[in-house]
Structure 1
C-alpha cells in the first residue's frame, strides 16, 4: 500500500532524533530508509511538498544537510486514516491502523453508526470478536447465523412478519397428497453476486453437497433424492412424509452458496471483505426480492480495544450498541425483547443420578431464588418461567430425596454459565453433594468427547425464526441428546419426531413437540434456566432497526436519511 510505505519511510527518517532537527547526509538517510540516494531525494521532495518536513541540502558530496520535522508519525497516521475512512477506503485504514491499533478506537468514532460516504449510505458496527468463517451448514454463533441469512438465500425463507416459510429462490412449491413428493419452482431472474445467472443445476449440486454433512444428513434424513425435472424446478422425493421440509429449507443452515465458491451467494448482500479486522457487505443490486436500503454494512473488529470496555461494540454480546462508548447516553434504545432462546440444564440417564434426584436439583434451582440472585449484569437475563411461551416448566412439591455425594457438571459458553455453575456448586454443597465442574470452551457440544462422563450438562439453545421447529431441529441434530438418553430411548425419540413431522397440519406438529418436551421436563431430563434480554441501541438517524429472533436486525430494512452535509 502506497500510503503505508510513505508512512513507514517517514517514521524511519523521524525516529533517530524523535523529531528533533537533524544534521545528516543523503547517504545516511538512504541507508536508514533501505533505498538508493536518488530515491531518498524523491522521498524528501514528496514529504516536503506535503508539508511533513523541510530539507535544506548543502552543496558538495557528503555534506550534511538540515532536516526539520513539522509533524509526527502518530499525527500523520491519524490524518491518513481519517482521510481513508472519509473516502470509504476501509482496507487502507486498517493497514494504517496496524502500526498502532491502540489509536484505532478514537479514530473510528466519527465514522461509526450510520454515515454517508461518497453518497453511499453505510452502517458501521464495531464488534467485540472476530467472526467465524461462513461455511455452508451449521454455524454456532448468532452473528454468523444472521450473516448467513443476509448473504445467502434458500429455496424458502421465513416471513418477516410471521414464522411461516415463504418463497425465496423458489417462488412457490407444491406437495403430493401423500407428502412424499415436493416440487419447488425456481425464479427465472436469479443472479449470483458476481453477476452470473443462477442455474437450477447449481442449486441441486449445492443441496446435494449439504446433504453429505453429518448434521444436515440427520436434518434431512427423510430425503431420498433430489431431481431437476425441468429447467426451473427442483423435486424432492422422500422416504417418509416430512411437512417440516419448507422450514428446514428456510433455516440458515440450508441457505445455498455457489457450488464452486462457498462465499458466493445470491442474497440481499454480497460479501466483499472477510478479514480478522473487517467484514464488509455490499448490497446486491440484482437481488430477486426487495433491494436493501443501505449500500454497505461493515463490522469493525477490534477486540483488543474493548477488553476493559465493551461499550463501543456492545455492552454484552446480546446488547448491541451501534455507536460510540462516550456517547452511550445519547444512543436511543431502538428495539428490545426477551430471547426465546434459553440457557438450559440437561440430566443424563445413568445409575449415578435417579429421576427423583434430578427433579430435586431442578426444584432447587427454580424454587430457591438461585436464578433471581445470580450475580450478573442488571437487565441482562430473565429467569425462565417456561421452555417457550405456553410450555410451562413442571415442578413438583416437596422432594427430600438425598442427592449423591458426588456429581459432575459439564458446560460450555456463554460466560454467564460460569456464574451459574459456581452458584449451583455452592447450593448443592449445602445439600451434601460435591459438584465437579468441567468447562468446554466452545459454543456447542460438537466434537466434545466427554459427554458420557457428565451427570448433567449446561449450555445455550439459540432459537430461530420459528421456535417450535428450531427445537425439533435441536433434538434431531445436537450431539447432546444421544448422550442424555439411552440408545433405545433416543431411537424412540427419533421415531416420535418422525411421526410428528408426518402431520400435515402445523398445529398438530407443534402439539406433538410440546408433548415431547413436556415429558422430558417431567422426567427430569431438561429444564430451562434463563433467557437473555436482547437490546439494540443506535444513534439518531439510523432507522428501520427491529430485533429479530437471533437478537440482530434485518440489514435490508435499516436506512439512513439523506446527508445534509
Structure 2
C-alpha cells in the first residue's frame, strides 16, 4: 500500500527529533529510511509538495540541510484515514487504523452510522468481534444467522408481516391431499450475485448437499426425495407428512448458496469483502424481490470501540450505529423489545437428581430473589415467568424438606451472563448443603462438548427466530442437548411426538400440540427458562426504516438514508 509506505517513511524522518527542526545530511536521511540518497531526495520532494515538511538543502556533497516538519505522523495518519474512508477505500483505512488502535474510536466515529459515499448510501456498523465463516447449515452466532438471511435466499422466507412463511425463490407451493408430495414453483427471473441465471438443477444440488450434513438430515428426516418435475418446479416426496416443511425451508440454515461457489447467493445483498477486520455487503441489482435502499452495509470489526469493562461479551442491548461526534447526544433509540429467546436450565434426572430434587432447584431459582438480584447491568435481562408468551412455567414452592444431593455438576456455554448465573446458583445451592461443580464450555452451542454427557445441570441460550413454535420444534429435534438430558427411551418418545405434531395440517393445532410437548418438559422439571434479553437498536439521526427482528437485528432491505447534500454526495 503506497500511502502506508509514505507514512512509514515520514515517521522515520520525524522520529529522531520528535518533530524539531534538524540539521542533517541526505546520507543520514537515506540511512534512516533504508533507501538510496536518490530515493530519499524524491521522498523529500514529494513530502514538501504535499505540505508535510520543508527541506532546504545546502550545495555540496555531505553538507547539512535544514529539515522542518509542518505536521506530525499522528495528524498525517488521521488525515490519510479520513481521505480513505471518504473515498470508500476500506482496506487502506483499516491498514492505517492498525497503526493507531488507541485513536481508532475517535477516528472512526464520523464515519459510522449512515453516510453517503460517492452518491451511494452506506451504513457502517461497529462490531465487537470477527464474524465466523458463513458455513452451510446451522450457525451459532446471532449476527452470522442474520447475515446469512441478507446474502442468501431460500425456497421460502419469513416475513415480519406474516405469521406464515412466504414465497422467495419459489413464488408459491402446494401440497398433495395426503401431505406426502410438495411442489415448489420456482421463479423464472432469478440471478446469482455473479449475474448468472439461477437454474433449478442448482437449487436441487445445493439442497441435496445440505442434506448430507447430519443435523440438517435430522431437520429434514421426513424428506425421501427432491426431484425436478418441471423446469421450474422442485417436488419433495416425504416418508410421512410434515406440515412444518415450508418453515424448515425458510430457516436460515436452509438458505441456498451456489452449489459451486458457497460465498455466492441470490439474496438482496452480495458479499463483497469478508475479512477479520471488515465485512462489506453490496446490494444485488438483480434481486428478485424488493430492492434494498442501501447500496452497502459494512461491519467494522473494531474491538477498541467497545469499553474494556464489556470484556469480549456481546452486549445484547446492542447499539449498531454510531453517528458523528457532534451527534452523540442525539443518538436515539429506534427499536426495542424483549427477546423471545431465553437462557434456560435443563436438568438430567437420575439416581443423583430425582424429579422432586429437580423441582426444588427450579423453585430456588424462580421463587426466590436469585434472578432479580443477579449482578448484571440494569435493563440487560428480565426474569422469565413463561417460556413463550402464554406458555407459563409451573408454579412450585420451594420444598425445604426435599434434601438436595450432596454434589451436583453444572455445565454451561455462552453467553457470558451465564458466568454470573452459574456463580449465583453455586452459592445458593451451597447454602442448602449442595456442592455444585461448575464447568464452562467456551462456545455458543453444545457441539463438541464431551462433558455434556455426564453433567446433572446444563445452562445455555436458545435463540428464537421469526416463528417461535417452529423454532422450538427445530431445537428439540436437532440440538444434541436432548439426547444427553433425556434417557434413550425418553428421547425416542420425544422424537415420535414431534413427528406426530408435524403431521397436523392446521397451524394452530400444531402450535397447541407443541405447547403440550414443552409443557411436559417443564412439568417434569426437565426444562425451565431463566431470563430474556432486552434488544435495543440505537441510531443517529438520518438512519431510517429500522425495525427490530426477533433475532435482535433489522432487515437491511428496509433501512434507508435521506438524500445527502451536494457537498456530502460528492465525497
TM class by smaller structure = over 0.9
- Look up the match of 1:44: 44
Give the deviation of 1:305 after TM superposition: 3.8
Give the deviation of 1:315 after TM superposition: 8.7
Mapping of residues 383-532 of structure 1, within 5 Å: 383-397=383-397, 399=399, 400-532=401-533
Give the deviation of 1:29 after TM superposition: 2.3
More displaced stretch, 513-522 vs 198-207: 198-207
- Look up the match of 2:271: 271
In structure 2, the residue corresponding to 1:101 is in which secondary structure? coil
Q: Deviations 1:484-536 (Å, cap 9, x if unpaired)? A: 00011101111111111111111121111111110000001000011111111
- Look up the match of 2:234: 234
- Look up the match of 2:365: 365
Give the deviation of 1:314 after TM superposition: 10
In structure 2, the residue corresponding to 1:201 is in which secondary structure? helix
| 1:204–1:227 contact (8 Å) kept in structure 2 | yes
- Look up the match of 1:183: 183
Q: Deviations 1:188-230 (Å, cap 9, x if unpaired)? A: 1111111111111111111111111111111011111211122
Give the deviation of 1:310 after TM superposition: 5.8
Q: CA RMSD in A?
A: 1.7
- Look up the match of 1:18: 18
Give the deviation of 1:443 after TM superposition: 0.8
Give the deviation of 1:34 after TM superposition: 2.5
1:314/1:394 CA distance change after superposition, 3 Å: closer
Mapping of residues 547-562 of structure 1, within 5 Å: 547-562=548-563
Give the deviation of 1:325 after TM superposition: 9.8
In structure 2, the residue corresponding to 1:134 is in which secondary structure? coil
Find the aligned partners of 1:306 and 1:381 in 2 and give their Cα distance.
Answer: 20
| 2:313–2:416 contact (8 Å) kept in structure 1 | no
Q: Deviations 1:109-137 (Å, cap 9, x if unpaired)? A: 11111111111111111111111111111
Gaps (5+ residues) in structure 2? none
Find the aligned partners of 1:37 and 1:541 in 2 and give their Cα distance.
Answer: 52
Find the aligned partners of 2:68 and 2:497 in 1 and give their Cα distance.
Answer: 81
Find the aligned partners of 1:443 and 1:187 in 2 and give their Cα distance.
Answer: 36
- Look up the match of 1:214: 214
| 1:102–1:305 contact (8 Å) kept in structure 2 | no
Gaps (5+ residues) in structure 1? none
More displaced stretch, 199-208 vs 22-31: 22-31
Q: Deviations 1:126-157 (Å, cap 9, x if unpaired)? A: 11111111111111111111111011111100
In structure 2, the residue corresponding to 1:320 is in which secondary structure? coil
- Look up the match of 1:93: 93
In structure 2, the residue corresponding to 1:102 is in which secondary structure? coil
| 2:316–2:533 contact (8 Å) kept in structure 1 | no
Find the aligned partners of 2:233 and 2:59 in 1 and give their Cα distance.
Answer: 81
| 2:104–2:304 contact (8 Å) kept in structure 1 | no
Mapping of residues 279-290 of structure 1, within 5 Å: 279-290=279-290
Find the aligned partners of 1:294 and 1:268 in 2 and give their Cα distance.
Answer: 10
| 2:105–2:304 contact (8 Å) kept in structure 1 | no
| 1:152–1:256 contact (8 Å) kept in structure 2 | yes
In structure 1, the residue corresponding to 2:459 is in which secondary structure? strand
| 1:315–1:321 contact (8 Å) kept in structure 2 | no
Matched, 1:317 2:283: no
Give the deviation of 1:160 after TM superposition: 2.6
Q: Deviations 1:32-87 (Å, cap 9, x if unpaired)? A: 22223222221111111001111222222333322221111111000001111112
| 2:413–2:444 contact (8 Å) kept in structure 1 | yes
In structure 2, the residue corresponding to 1:500 is in which secondary structure? helix
Give the deviation of 1:422 after TM superposition: 1.2
| 2:316–2:380 contact (8 Å) kept in structure 1 | no
